[in-house]
Structure 1
Amino acid sequence: MIFKRIAVFTILFSVVISAAKAQNDPKAKAILDGVSKKYKSFSAIKSDFSYVLDNPQENIKSYKQSGMILASPKTNKFHLTIYSGSGATKSVEQEIISDGKTQWTYEKKDNEVQINDADNSSQSLNPAQVFTIYEKGYKYLFTGEVRQQGQVYQQIDLTPVDSKKPFFKVRLLISKAQNRIYSASIYDKNGSRYTYILSSPATNYTGSDSVFGFNKKNYPGAEVVDLR
């Protein structure tokens, strides 16, 4: 369920894509370029987030979770932590780690780690790419400003040039005052909507790169299943 579970935070040349660029909105591009420039100045990006799933087919409405993301858009690496509970009862439910080549998924309830090849295909989405999502293969359009909880956000809709992608739209809300991504909503072709809200401003992570790799010592007793 997370990032579909992960197929949601490539996004981010063919003649088709080059032609599509002429249809892009200059105002949207100016906003996105500013955001992208900010994030690209970071060594890596760290942020808390909340996740909301709406899936009418499975009668799921506003299913919520929280988590923390570390992402390196330049290297396609990420470390995603999903929590259950809140406050004093909050604990790690799932971790998804990728060094750009290999992906490790830890499920606490099963005390199991699954190893897969990282999916870097054009059909996938991953958390590292949400910060530069528009740069390849998307048309984008500024659709106005919205106000939520006293804040003004610039709304931009992205549509993939490739019709084979499993989603048809990504809607970004960008803080006008802080020039940062506030939320990204992915609209799936099956009717589901996945919304990721960056609940804290993304900061520059300058810690060890080892956070983007798997260390079995951190998961005592866990069964490791290699599915490659």
Structure 2
Amino acid sequence: MNKTMINTKKIAILSFFFLLFTSNSIAQDKKAKALLDEVTSKIKSYTNIVIDFKYSLNNAKENINQDSKGNVLLQGNKYVLNFMGVIKIFDGKKTYTIVPEDEEVTISSINDNDEKAITPSKMLTFFNSGYKYTWDILQNVKGRKIQYIKLTPTSNKDQRKEILVGVDIQTKIIYNLIEMGKNGTKTTLIVNSFKTNQPLSKNQFTFVANKYPGYYINKLD
């Protein structure tokens, strides 16, 4: 057998394995996207959602370790967020940031330009655009099977290296989010409780100024 035939066979074998690997990667990516689509569909099926969560921020290089707890009420794009001593209400048009410690309320309009920010209203569906999807590891967490999907931002300007979305296989609900920054910062959000279709008052997402007498009202626009 001459060298030409040997080289041809080598190229054919390498091409076969390359195609096999590529096909498997595409299948895995479609599988990852399909699972996230199931999550989105499940989230949209609820009238409202109430979440208690734990949030951690770590950066070994900067010696930063912060842990906080919070809760958020979601209904469509409206929300009420209680986190780190601050209350944020979004009524669909304006955001009201209430800081009891400073007795101050800041009122601002929605920022449509900040598409990359994972705001409370997008925290469970932010992954629907701007990312590449990869099927990652499966973990057993206290008897729950959590399947991870790795998200890689498609924009080089994005300061996040990757995001891991942990999905409860049985409920199709997000269990946690792990975000890795290019600067080494790691943020983790774990869902401690997840309630749906709760009875709400008509003024649940309405800012009532007389509840905060003496507060300084700072209108940004």
Alignment TM-score, normalising by the size of structure 1: 0.77
Partner of 2:22: none
CA distance in 1, matches of 2:28, 2:138: 18
Question: Which residue of the other structure, out of 104, 118, 126, is the alignment partner of 1:112?
Answer: 104
Output one character per residue of 1:135-159: Cα deviation in whole Å (capped at 9) or x when no partner: 1222111102012233220001112
Conservation of the 8 A alpha-carbon contact between 1:34 and 1:179: yes
Distance (Å, rounded) in 2 between the aligned partners of 1:192 and 1:23: 31
Of the three residues 37, 42, 56, the one matched with 1:38 is 42
Q: Aligned equivalents of 2:145 and 2:182: distance in 1?
A: 29
Q: Of 95, 118, 133, which residue of structure 2 is paired with 1:103? A: 95
SS at match of 1:212: coil
Whether 2:48 is the aligned partner of 1:55: answer no
Contact 1:134 1:140 in 2 (8 A): no
Change (3 A) 1:30 1:113: same
| Structure 2 unaligned residues grouped into runs of 5+ | 1-25
- Structure 2 letter corresponding to 1:105: T
Deviation at 1:23, TM superposition (A): 9.1
Is 1:170 the counterpart of 2:163? The answer is: yes
- Identity rate of aligned residues, in percent? 33
Q: Aligned to 1:220, what secondary structure does the other structure show?
A: coil
Residue matched to 1:66: 69
Q: Residues 202 and 162 from structure 1, CA distance in 2 versus in 1: closer, same or farther, beyond 3 angstroms? A: farther
Q: Is the alpha carbon distance of 1:52 and 1:36 closer, same or farther for their aligned partners in structure 2, counting shifts above 3 Å? A: same
Note the C-alpha offset of 1:209: 5.3
Structure 2 CA distance for aligned equivalents of residues 102 and 57 of structure 1: 37
Preserved contact between residue 81 and residue 88 of structure 2 (Cα < 8 Å): yes
Residues 1:202 and 1:27: Cα distance change in structure 2 (over 3 Å):
farther
Partner of 2:193: 200
Q: 1:23 and 1:219 mapped to 2: Cα distance?
A: 54
Unpaired stretches in structure 1, ≥5 consecutive residues: 1-21, 84-92
8 Å Cα contact 1:43/1:206 also seen in 2: no
With over 3 angstroms needed to count, the CA separation of the structure-2 counterparts of 1:99 and 1:169, relative to structure 1, is farther
- In the TM superposition, 1:87-166 aligns within 5 A as 93-121=85-113, 122-166=115-159
Q: CA RMSD in A?
A: 2.1
> What residue identity is the alignment partner of 2:49?
I
Aligned to 1:82: 83
- The verdict on how the C-alpha distance between 1:98 and 1:168 changes in structure 2, with shifts beyond 3 A counting, is farther
